[in-house]
Structure 1
Amino acid sequence: MEKGDAAWSETPVRIPPLAREQWTDAAREVFAFWGEPGAWENGSRTNSQMVLANHPPLAMAFNRFGKHVLIDNTAPAWARELVTLRVAWHMKSQYEWHYHVGYALNLGMTLEQIADVSVGPDAGSWSELDAAVLRCVDDLWSRSRVQDATWAVLAEHFDTQQLMDLIFVLGQYVMLGWALAAFGVQLEDGVDPIGFDLTTRAGLVPGTRLKPGESEQWADAPL
């Protein structure tokens, strides 16, 4: 594997970002959903939203669910990022990996721990709970079932709503990863993509990233 290039097998663009001449009010609602300043007038900075805006009813339904998964979720944020990163690794989803590495770093996860997400639940750095979270992803990915032993550890730490939320995080990012791959959604122009070796294509060390709404400046950071 070359430095900063995780050997992505990208699909060519199949559904492009919505062209400006097709921007209806319904499409602009999609652009503005996450609260980006100026998005109603200028479009979203993210290609995922600009592609989803080709189908506003679907996009808004997905965004409302996505807001629950990303922001309003009852499961601990650390566990959610472990799930999302492991899903992205399994799917080789460049788009998901690039953004969620920064989210995980912002939670205090180290680059060494993020690297161990690629190794999986048997890496030496994990607590019993973290290993169970990662094993839950692997169980569902490989068998479409969660082993009893995995579930028992999760149930010791999470209540019913947290368990439900955690499973839906996994499902949401698998669904999103499929969509991004099938549609050929590319990272935005000027982005220096983060590889699974945790360097960027330019050889830089990844930095933290804020989720929508985490501060008033969350949308001002470089993509």
Structure 2
Amino acid sequence: MSPLPTEEWDDEVLDALAPLLPPSRSNPRDAGNVLATLVRHPALTRAYLHFNAHLLLASTLSPRIREVALLRAVHVRRSDYLWEHHIPIAQRAGITPDEIDAIRQGRPADEIDRLVVGAVDELDAANTVSDATWSALRDHFDERQVLDLIFTVGCYQLLGAAVNTLGVQPEPH
């Protein structure tokens, strides 16, 4: 599925992007190919972006932990588009290129990063986490953070599946 052509962008499309994008970025070029494709269904896009905006902008997780979870989730779901898109975001959150590579390999050096990567892998493999992982998560995160972690993983697994299924192409540089 291709991005919605520029001439078809109307007020309904702009309204669909409002939960995540400021008006200055609500255009086919700045929205990017994922959002420009999703807006083919404005009501669904708006609902999804309310959820996604919480995870990106209001989560109780630190930006670093969010990006560790998100990167691992899109890696195990083989969404190259989202992986590449989030590398600069992860770097802005303080994750080094070596740490990003370790997340991809499933072997972060940092104990908390390792716990988060393990939780993502368990969620991917079994759709749940083990009692041991749950206990370790609760040793480091409060209830809201654990919920934000689980939903961040699920959100980006879903988005990765959508991006891959729709054949969303990278933006030209």
Same fold, TM-score > 0.5, yes or no: yes
Change (3 A) 1:53 1:44: farther
Q: How many angstroms does 1:44 deviate by?
A: 4.5
1:142 aligns with 2:125: yes
Unmatched runs of 5 consecutive residues or more in structure 1: 1-14, 191-223
SS in 1 for 2:22: coil
Unmatched runs of 5 consecutive residues or more in structure 2: none
Which residue does the alignment assign to 2:154? 171
Aligned match for 1:70, one of 56, 61, 68: 56
In the TM superposition, structure 1's runs of 4+ consecutive aligned residues that sit over 4 Å from their partners are none
Which residue does the alignment assign to 1:181? 164
Larger Rg: 1
Q: Could you list the per-position Cα deviations for residues 132-152 of structure 1 after superposition, in whole angstroms to 9, with x for gaps in the alignment?
A: 111000111111120111111
2:150 counterpart letter in structure 1: I
Q: How many angstroms does 1:23 deviate by?
A: 2.2
Distance in 2, matches of 1:73 and 1:44, equals 27
1:126 aligns with 2:121: no
1:34 aligns with 2:21: yes
Change (3 A) 1:18 1:108: same
- Give me the CA root mean square deviation: 1.6
1:125 counterpart letter in structure 2: A
Q: How many angstroms does 1:21 deviate by?
A: 3.3
Q: Count how many residue pairs are aligned between Structure 1 and Structure 2.
A: 171
Distance in 1, matches of 2:134 and 2:113, equals 12
Q: Could you list the per-position Cα deviations for residues 29-82 of structure 1 after superposition, in whole angstroms to 9, with x for gaps in the alignment?
A: 23554115163xx43521111111101000000111110011110122211111
